[in-house]
Chain A
Amino acid sequence: MRANRLGAALAVALTATLAACGSGEPTPQSSAAPQSSAPAAQGPVKLTYWTWAPNMDKIVDVWNKAHPDIQVTVSKQAGGDDAAAKYLTAAKAGNPPDLVQAEYQHLPSFIAADAVADIKAETAAIQGEFTEGLWRLVTLGTEGVYGIPQDSGPMMLFYRQDLFDKYGIEVPKTWQEYADAARAVRKKDPKVHLGTFSSKDPGAFTGYAQQAGAQWWSIEGESWKVNIADEPTRKVADYWSGLVKEGAIDDMPYFTPEWNKALNDGKLLTWPSAVWAPGVLSSNAPKAKGKWAAAPLPQWNAGENVSGFWGGSSTAVSAKTPNKAAAAQFATWLNTDPAAIELLVEEAAIYPAATKAQSALGEAPEYFANQPDFWQQAAAVSAGARGFTFGPNVGVTYNAFKDAFDKAVQNKSSFAEAVQSMQDTTVADMRKAGFQIAQ
């Protein structure tokens, strides 16, 4: 008798745990909860915020002091593609944070996974604070609004002023001049390269393609248009392919110990990067402080002023949060309140997305103390920077970039093929998932 009861109890316990663990789908209870009716009189609303911006906890402290009813806790993340993967996994597992820093290129994946909330109603008042181009990155051109722009990364050319003087090189204004300069440098000192093409950084390549006028994804009615191997992108690919093949520029990836060393030793003279580069240079190439300068990115046609974006992120609200209104309120404050933006610039060293804040930037970054007009340069570049709508599977596309360009660099084969492989992989993945694709 007793044995039976014990056995039965055990069976019940096991079934319970099995049921609890076996149900992979998160219960839809949270999404059913009404958005704004946060339980009143139950103490302050508690929000968690995943971000990798440095010193964000200090900025959030300011908010927490002023808003005892909405307390935000910062959970520091590693940045990059891993952070996006982690957020998607957490959302799938049913326990994402309330707020997340979302890079523009990953936001569509978050939207497609139903992991971020539409905050159109909550953000109606602040749309005017941002340029149309940036706002498009958080709406994808749809009716919804899925994040609030935080920072942006218009691309510029960073170069070693002292070594340009030493080798007698002019700052290249067009990509043609850049290629000529690359060859000239090789003649003057075979150990030095003007720059390098990184097969590990799809973000940089995306920026080049945007500058050339690429539109990798677009939305046409109810279907996606995928055009990664478009004419501007192939032009960019062929350009770099030629330079790498003839050895005019190096092919070492960015952000590696070798790259750091080359920067420190003056073996790389330029880095076409984004406005956030001073932060990277000061930590990865501390020895060269005060020797770098910034200029607009070389142009495809002389006299133009266009650029692309490398990086930049928004603050998104999780679709699962029970406190959507409070989360949106915090995200709005963080990215539009003048005091908050000042903190973001000072503490987190970001280039703010809000238009007014961009022109209010004063003193140049310490690393670029030799260039007092740094921020004016950045604002001029930013005005001419253009982006494009990102697709719902950028993770796949960026991974295809790394694999295809790794191979192309290694075999010295054509980059145009690599671009085609990105297109094919992306379309195949979207087809498999069932996305509607326009021909």
Chain B
Amino acid sequence: MNQGRRSAWPYLFLTPAVVLFTLFLAVPIGYTVYLATRRTKVSGLGLGKGARREVFVGFDNFSAALADAELWQGWLRVLGYGAFVLVVMLGLALLFALLLDSARVRLARFSRIAIFLPYAVPGVAATLLWGFLYLPSLSPIRSVLDADLLGPTTVTYSMANVAVWGGTGFNMLVLYTTLRAIPRDLYEAARLDGASELQIALRVKIPILTPAIILTTVFSIIATVQVFTEPTTLRPLTNTISSTWSPLMKVYRDAFVTGDLYSAAATSIVIAAVSLVLSFGFLRVVRNHAFGEG
């Protein structure tokens, strides 16, 4: 009896987690995989009842997604965009975190909030706001800066700028919090040994920060692979962004514009696989640093 009760409790405690996981993760993923192996087949005109049925097509949708040149060009565009965002955003975040943590900073609280604030602005609002700044006839910056900010080459950087503006604050805060957790005596010891502030930053703080930097990098990789809001919101304002600019935009287009849920499902699985490979690949490369001594 007693033993029976003991083995029952764990299941009870697990139930909420298992139910939520099943309902909101396992089932949708399962359904996506199911959809990805199917396709509608119409006969004749495709009008009226019974003219359209769903058939099993195995891996057809996947091979179509993998063979789609537009999707790979989308990956290339996102790669260029992502490389720029990662370097600039994380570089700035690290710089700001170190500056705020340094002994001689003024207005630390104000600067911290000012840098973090853009993160609180929703992506769509931020992109619209920047979009209006980019538009030739409306923009105050365009009167000073004579460049087409929504041109074929510049548009990537204009979008990256929005992401950097919005994302730096969050990453800065993660790094800064880690910095604050470092015992102060380490710095004191370094100072006694004659290290300057710069040397402390480079030789003490950054090595200790490495796991946090890796963490923010992984999150940022996942976020840039899934870039969607910025290009989708800017698209109506310019004719340089196609409906398949990023892989996720292609998923949206397939599912909701051209009504092909099946291709969209297959492409989402491909995107998930690429995100996994990229983030785990990165983790593997930097494993020794990320998990300390190992």
Q: Which residues in A have some Cβ–Cβ distance to B below 8 Å?
A: 1-3, 6-7, 10, 13-14, 17-18, 21-22, 24-25, 31, 81-82, 85-86, 88-89, 92, 108-109, 111-114, 118, 140, 142, 144, 199-200, 219, 222-224, 251, 253, 255-258, 261-262, 392-393, 395-396, 399, 402-403, 405-407, 409-410, 429, 433-436
Contact = CB atoms under 8 A, between A and B. Distances in A.
Given A14-B18, A17-B23, A21-B31, A257 B132 contact: yes
Interface string B275-289: 000000000000000
B236 interface: yes
A88 B40 CA distance: 14
Contact of A2 (B8, B135, B240, B259): B8
A108 B259 CA distance: 13
- Interface pairs A-B: 6 shortest CB-CB: A406-B239, A85-B256, A3-B8, A434-B41, A396-B258, A21-B27
Contact of A222 (B30, B45, B152): B45
Given A255-B236, A257-B135, A406-B242, 10 more contacts: A2-B5, A10-B11, A24-B34, A223-B44, A392-B45, A393-B258, A395-B257, A405-B239, A410-B152, A435-B42
Nearest to A143: B48
A433 B256 CA distance: 16
Contacts of B242: 403, 406-407
Interface of B: 4-5, 7-8, 11-12, 15, 18-19, 22-23, 27, 30-31, 34-35, 39-49, 51-52, 54, 132, 135-138, 152, 236-237, 239-244, 253, 255-261
A224 B44 CA distance: 8
Contacts of B5: 2-3
Nearest to B253: A399
Contacts, number: 149
A88 B243 contact: no
15 contacts: A3-B4, A18-B27, A21-B27, A25-B54, A112-B42, A140-B47, A142-B45, A262-B137, A399-B243, A406-B239, A406-B241, A407-B239, A409-B239, A434-B40, A435-B44
A81 B258 CA distance: 10
B239 A92 contact: no
Contacts of A114: 48-49, 51-52
A6 B12 contact: yes
B26 to A, nearest CB: 8
A256 B136 CA distance: 12
A2 B260 CA distance: 48
Contacts of A2: 4-5, 8
B43 to A, nearest CB: 6
A92 B52 CA distance: 12
A241 B137 CA distance: 24
A410 B48 contact: no
Contact of A392 (B11, B46, B240): B46
Contacts of B40: 433-434
A321 to B, nearest CB: 15
B239 A109 contact: no
Contact of A111 (B47, B152, B237): B47
B259 A88 contact: yes
B259 A109 contact: yes
A21 B30 CA distance: 10
A17 B27 contact: yes
A426 B257 CA distance: 13
Nearest to B24: A21
Contacts of A14: 18-19, 22
A200 B239 contact: yes
Nearest to B128: A257
A10 B18 CA distance: 10
Contacts of A3: 4-5, 7-8, 11
A111 B48 contact: yes
B6 to A, nearest CB: 9
Nearest to B261: A92
A433 B42 contact: yes
B258 A257 contact: no
A258 to B, nearest CB: 5
Contacts of B43: 434, 436
Contacts of A409: 239
Contacts of A17: 19, 22-23, 27
A88 B237 CA distance: 27
B138 A144 contact: no
Contacts of B44: 222-223, 435-436
Nearest to A267: B137
B8 A6 contact: yes
Contacts of A144: 47-48
A410 B240 CA distance: 7
Contacts of A434: 40-43, 46
Nearest to A17: B23
A85 B45 contact: no
Contact of A395 (B31, B35, B259): B259
A252 B23 CA distance: 46
A113 B52 contact: yes
A7 B11 contact: yes
Contacts of A88: 259
A251 B42 contact: no
A30 B150 CA distance: 50
A397 to B, nearest CB: 9
Nearest to B131: A257
A49 B133 CA distance: 39
Contacts of A433: 39-42, 46
Contacts of A224: 45
A206 B178 CA distance: 58
A434 B57 CA distance: 13
Contacts of A1: 4
A434 B236 CA distance: 32
B82 to A, nearest CB: 23
Interface centre among B7, B41, B239, B255 (most CB of A within 10 A): B239
Nearest to B14: A10
Contacts of B34: 22, 24
Contacts of A258: 135-138, 237
B50 to A, nearest CB: 8
